[in-house]
Amino acid sequence: MSIKSDNRHLYLQVIDRLKQDIESGVYKEKEKLPSEFDLAKQLGVSRATLREALRILEEENVIIRRHGVGTFVNARPLFTSGIEQLNSVTDMIAHAGMKPGTIFLRSSKQVPTEEDIRRFNCSQNEEIVVMERVRTANGEPVVYCIDKVPSHILPDTFSHEEESIFNILDGAAHKRITYAIAQIEPIGYHEKISPILECEPETALLVLKQMHYDEMDEPILYSVNFFKADKFSFHVLRKRV
């Protein structure tokens, strides 16, 4: 079991070895790893070296450490997408080979906040339609969605049963979203949303805030989506200029 086989720092060798063991199924998703004492002994390294490797693996979300309980293999994200790709949540779930679904929570017309007036460049008399839904994948809740649309954009006959907000805007409002300005940030446990998404206490959320525009540069949709961080991962293609 010893990994002392090359000239790299030992903690790097430990990282590679543990990743290989997870990849090959030696340690399965959500499985508890051996204790630090036992794992260090198996790998033939000091506990200090092992701790440094585990620290980096935790930063990379490969493992998760629960204080007083132990170290566990993190579940792999089921959904991955380039942040530069403007896909609906419905499309992301469908592209992963799973069945998208919707749990409709509520819809209401509200007086715009100061931020709404700034975002949509609307008057204070313009009502904003606010929809809250939970998106599911094969019946499992994975995303909590809050969508805001100026009321004049949506006809009174639009249906909340349509799963994709993009399709609602395309079909009922004849507004095609062409681009969005996005902001993504991680947060910890959310008292309201985490229980709805059936998150473990240590499961973080990824919050994606997006202002969507049509081909005429008109702001037509503001969305705040709370993704389960153990189910979704986002990446971005960066080019040197």
Q: Is the pLDDT of residue 4 over 60?
A: no
Q: What's the pLDDT at 239? A: 73
Amino acid at 181: I
Mean pLDDT of 206-219: 94
pLDDT exceeds cutoff 60 at 87: yes
Same fold, 10-73 and 79-235: no
Q: Tokens for 167?
A: 């399709």
pLDDT grade, residue 168 (50/70/90)?
confident
**Per-residue confidence (pLDDT) for residue 162, from 0 to 100:** 65
Environment class of 159 (CB within 10 Å of its CB; exposed 0-12, middle 13-18, buried 19+): exposed
Q: Which CATH number fits domain 79-235: 3.20.20.370, 3.40.50.300, 3.40.1410.10, 2.130.10.10?
A: 3.40.1410.10
Q: pLDDT digits over 135-162, tens only?
A: 999 999 999 999 999 999 987 777 666 6
Task: Give the pLDDT confidence score for residue 142 in this predicted structure.
Answer: 92
pLDDT of residue 133: 94
Task: Flag whether pLDDT at 57 surpasses 60.
Answer: yes
pLDDT in tens, 16-46: 999 999 988 899 888 899 999 999 999 999 9
**pTM confidence score:** 0.71
Fold type of domain 10-73:
Arc Repressor Mutant, subunit A (1.10.10)
pLDDT averaged over the chain? 87
Where along the chain do its domains lie?
10-73, 79-235
pLDDT at 1 over 80: no
Q: How much of the chain, in percent, has pLDDT values that exceed 90?
A: 56
Residues 79 and 137: their CA atoms lie apart, in Å, by 10
| Lookup: tokens for 163 | 């799963």
- Which region among 38-52, 152-166, 217-231 has the lowest average model confidence (pLDDT)? 152-166
CA–CA distance, 59 with 56 (Å, rounded to integer): 5
Look at residue 75 in the predicted model and tell me its pLDDT. 75
Is residue 212 within 8 Å of 180, Cβ to Cβ? yes
Average pLDDT score over residue span 174-193: 92
pLDDT of residue 177: 93
Q: What is the pLDDT of residue 156?
A: 75
Q: Are 62 and 71 in contact (CB under 8 A)?
A: no
Least confident interval from 31-35, 55-59, 77-81, 209-213: 77-81
